[in-house]
Amino acid sequence: MIREKKEQIINELAGNLSKAAVTIATDYRGLTAKEMVQLRKQLHQQGVEYKVIKNTLARFAAEKAGIKGLDQYFIGPMALALSYDDPVKPAKILMDHIKSAGSVLKIKGGVMGDKALSAADVANLASIPSKDVLISRLMGQLKAPVYSLHFVLSSPLRGLVGVLQARARQLEGG
């Protein structure tokens, strides 16, 4: 590969690594081309990049981006899954792919922020509900006290309305 091309790849990957919310290193040995295309499609649909990259170039890019802890996974064939917004997405997709397809894909580990993640950490990350689910749960928790207050404050009015309606029926009937 031409030196300028290598430098361009390193610079691009360093920029991507520094912007990524999470980076997960995988060992794709044993995946068929069809499985690889299917996995890339699933990841791409969720806004996650999946790049097969040479270990040396990845090591230089990680060093240039100032990311520590990722270089221990640059052994053997490796692909990186990079997510820029939701750190849970790539972990979920990769774990679901491994479980559903019975895939031979292996998660080596990764980096989230400045913290190195082991394969077990990535599996735990995959068990966390997605960002949208967490936001909706939070909104539900925030709305619950307001609904309770509304119910408590409106119950005397409902009681008064009930008494007035009963009295109106009583006067009509008799």
pLDDT per residue of the chain (174 residues) written in tens, 0 to 9: 688 888 888 889 888 888 888 999 999 888 888 888 888 998 999 889 998 989 888 899 888 888 887 878 888 889 999 998 888 888 998 998 888 877 788 999 888 887 888 889 988 888 888 778 889 999 989 998 888 888 888 888 888 888 889 989 998 885
Residues 149 and 81 in one domain: no
Question: 7 with 84, same domain?
Answer: yes
Same domain, residue pair 102 and 136: no
pLDDT given at position 138? 92
Q: How far apart are the first and last CA of the chain?
A: 101
pLDDT of residue 81: 92
Angle at 84 between CA 81 and CA 87, to 5 degrees: 70
DSSP secondary structure code for residue 52 in this structure: E
pLDDT value at residue 139: 92
Same domain, 19 and 54: yes
84 and 160 assigned to the same domain: no
State residue 114's pLDDT score. Answer: 79
pTM: 0.73
Do 124 and 137 fall into the same domain? no
Within this chain, do residues 65 and 149 fall inside the same structural domain, yes or no? no
Read out DSSP for 96-151?
Answer: HHHHHHT---EEEEEEETTEEEEHHHHHHHHTSPPHHHHHHHHHHHHHHHHHHHHH
How much is the pLDDT for 174?
58
- The answer to whether 14 and 80 have CB atoms below 8 angstroms apart is no
Q: Which domain holds residue 136?
A: 130-174
The domain boundary residue, chosen from 128, 149, 164: 128
Strand partners, 30: none
Q: How many domains does the chain have?
A: 2
67 and 151 in a single domain? The answer is no
**Cα–Cα distance between 145 and 21 in angstroms, integer?**
33
Residues 98 and 120 in one domain: yes
Q: Is 66 helix (H, G, I), strand (E, B) or coil?
A: coil
Pair 117, 135 in one domain: no
- Residues 110 and 135 occupy one common structural domain: no
**Which pLDDT score, from 0 to 100, does residue 136 have?**
92
pLDDT on residue 154:
85
Mark whether 95 and 161 lie in a shared domain.
Answer: no
Question: What CATH number is attached to the domain comprising 63?
Answer: 3.30.70.1730
